[in-house]
Amino acid sequence: MVKEVAYGWIEQNKKKIIEISDKAWEYAEIGLKEEKTSKLLADYIEKQGFKVERGIADMPSAFVASWTYGEKGPTVGILGELDALAGLSQKAVPYKDPVKEGAPGHGCGHNIHGTSGIAGAIALKKAMEEGKINGTIKFFGCPAEETLVGKVWLTRHGYVKGVDAVVSHHPGQANTAGTGSNVALNSFKLHFYGRTAHAGGSPENGISALDAVELMSVGINYMREHIMDKARIHSVIEFGGGQPNVVPEYSRVWYYVRAPEREQVDYIYNWVLQIADGADKMARTTHKVEFLTGCYNTLPNKILSDQIVLNMKEIKPPTYDEAEIKFAEELNKTIDQRLRKEGLRKSERPGWEKLLDKYFDERVLDDYQAGKIGTGSSDVADVSWNAPTKEFGTVCAMLGTPGHSWQLTAQSGMSIGHKGLIFASKVIAGTCIDILTQPKLLKSMKAEFKERLQGRKYKPPIPLDLKPPLNQF
């Protein structure tokens, strides 16, 4: 069986796959700065016979690795993410102990994400060679997912064009692939400009840029009552001034606007810009809008999701040994148990009540997300508007682990994360083999994709002349 060739390669190279993941975990580079991580993955897949194009779509750390067997056949895309999160440095131990205080860490498991992608792609290549399967593999090294940049620019530059279906994996707390969606987003900064003055001696000569930012916040807070329930607006004041006795001449605030559909984001975003104009009138400031990025809501594909779940069941998910249970037991002591329970309830996974005293959900779950819209965003969504796409999850962390936390960083660098990595690599390879060898399956995926589009066309959510925000941090 050709799938066994792929799975066998992964098993034979398990040590190397884990080594690459751990090296990426050690590098822990933030978005658009993932130079060492990008080189690590690109160099390895290049040595396996893939043609690698680096620094694509105006992003130094982005790359695409391609390989073709035969003259005609489908093209499968595989996504791999690279970036870590600021301030989440952590050793692979069940108590808080940063590798370096304040440094980045893989609190979303993208070291696993990128590595599962290249391992799955290489295993697929071995199977295609053995089984003489026609087709093309494209592995995308995607930077800056956390700030919703990488895949948006890759899509805008046409790198997804011609790909028939796309498979991606993200570390999680469940082995599943579902048809839920998530929300579209705009990310932008507002720069306000005023005039300095002595705050005590001559405040009448000052124009406070900070006043404008604070008035913006008041306006946004009154706005919240009148926007749809599933919309979200978040902000941070990045710069508010120098010292209290100087009226701030410059202040800067960074906003996210989210909503279930792209056009709803556009509507709320334009409303926010009107509030910024109002803040100028009240504070006598001026302002500039710096648009950073935007992304779509995810377009699900049930046929692809169901095929992934089928492969998960055939491969069989990992179980956990005594040392891993002990690690989870110690880690659990650092987690608020009320929030852990609420997290399980919120997940709405089947039988969540029975998991309250367990550390891992070792099942493969059928789609329980149909019709649900999550409140997070992902640039995988932009890919999903261009080809049938699914990003599935495997267990890489214990139940109740907070997202974007040091606890998740710890598990991403040890055997709990490693087991989810190896399982996911096999699922990627197996599913892609199905796509390449079952024409009716691919045809059905494409028919569903067309139906879900409902005649709508993808329009990049970023201005065509906008460059990636290489220095947004």
**Structural domain of 244:** 184-295
Same domain, 286 and 317: no
pLDDT higher than 70, residue 473: no
* 283-295: average pLDDT: 96
- Tens-digit pLDDT profile for residues 221-257: 999 999 998 999 999 999 999 999 999 999 999 999 9
Same domain, 417 and 311: yes
Alpha-carbon gap, residue 31 to 243, rounded angstroms: 31
Structure confidence at residue 303 (pLDDT): 98
pLDDT higher than 80, residue 472: no
pLDDT higher than 90, residue 174: yes
Same domain, 71 and 89: yes
pLDDT higher than 90, residue 81: yes
Same domain, 309 and 340: yes
- The residue among 295, 313, 335 that closes a domain is 295
- Mean of the per-residue pLDDT values for the chain? 96
Tell whether 468 is covered by a domain. no
- Bridge partners (DSSP) of residue 184 are 259
Same domain, 238 and 158: no
Note if the pTM is more than 0.85.
yes
Structure confidence at residue 463 (pLDDT): 87
Structure confidence at residue 373 (pLDDT): 87
Structure confidence at residue 111 (pLDDT): 98
DSSP class of residue 389 equals E
Which residue matches tokens 């995607």? 142
Same domain, 275 and 335: no
Q: 175: pLDDT confidence band, cut at 50, 70 and 90? A: very high
Length of the chain: 473
Contacts of 304 by beta carbon, 8 Å cutoff, 6+ apart? 165, 167, 177, 388, 389, 390, 431, 445
Tell whether 216 is covered by a domain. yes
Which residue matches tokens 């440094």? 103
Q: Residue 362 — φ and ψ, nearest 5°? A: -90, 5
* 61-83: average pLDDT: 97
